[in-house]
Amino acid sequence: MSIELITFLMLTVLIAVIMLGFPIGFSLAGVATIFGIIFVGPQISTVFMLRMHVALSDYTLIAVPLFIFMGVIIEKSGIAGRLFDAMYAILGGLKGGLAMSVIVASTIFAAATGVVGATVTTMGILALPAMMKYNYNKELACGSICAGGALGILIPPSIMILVYAPTANVSVGALLIGCFLPGVILSVIYLLYVGILCYVDPEKGPAIREEFRVSIPIKIKMLATSVMPVCLLILAVLGTIFFGLAAPTEAAAFGAFAAVILAAAYRALSWKVIKDAALATTKVSAMVYMVVIGASFFTSVFMRLGCGDFIEELVLGLPLGKWGILVVMWAIIIVMGCFLDWIGIVMIVVPIFSPIAIKLGFDPIWFALMNIVVLQTSFLSPPFAYTIFYLKGIAPPEIQLAHIYRGVVPFMLLMLLAVAIFAIFPDLLLWAPRHASLMG
The string of pLDDT tens digits covering residues 147-200 is 988 888 888 777 788 888 888 888 888 888 888 889 899 999 999 999 999 889
* Cα pseudo-dihedral 193, 420, 308, 298, rounded to 10: -20
- pLDDT over 60 at 437, yes or no: no
The string of pLDDT tens digits covering residues 357-413 is 888 889 999 999 999 999 888 888 877 677 887 888 878 888 888 888 888 899 999
Per-residue pLDDT at 211:
59
Prediction pTM value: 0.83
Q: What is the mean pLDDT of residues 301-326?
A: 82
Q: What is the mean pLDDT of the chain?
A: 83
Per-residue pLDDT at 369:
92
Q: What is the mean pLDDT of residues 68-89?
A: 79
Q: How confident is the model at residue 54 (pLDDT cuts 50, 70, 90)?
A: confident
Indicate the number of domains in the chain.
Answer: 1
- pLDDT over 80 at 146, yes or no: yes
The string of pLDDT tens digits covering residues 122-137 is 788 888 888 888 888 8
The answer to whether the CB of 89 falls within 8 A of the CB of 132 is no
Residue type, 232: L
DSSP code for 208: P
Domain with 385 in it: 3-439
Q: Which residue has the higher pLDDT, 235 or 180?
A: 180
- Residue 131 Cα to chain centre, angstroms: 25
The answer to whether the CB of 144 falls within 8 A of the CB of 128 is no
The answer to whether the CB of 11 falls within 8 A of the CB of 318 is no
Distance CA 203, CA 135 (A): 8
Q: Which residue has the higher pLDDT, 329 or 394?
A: 329
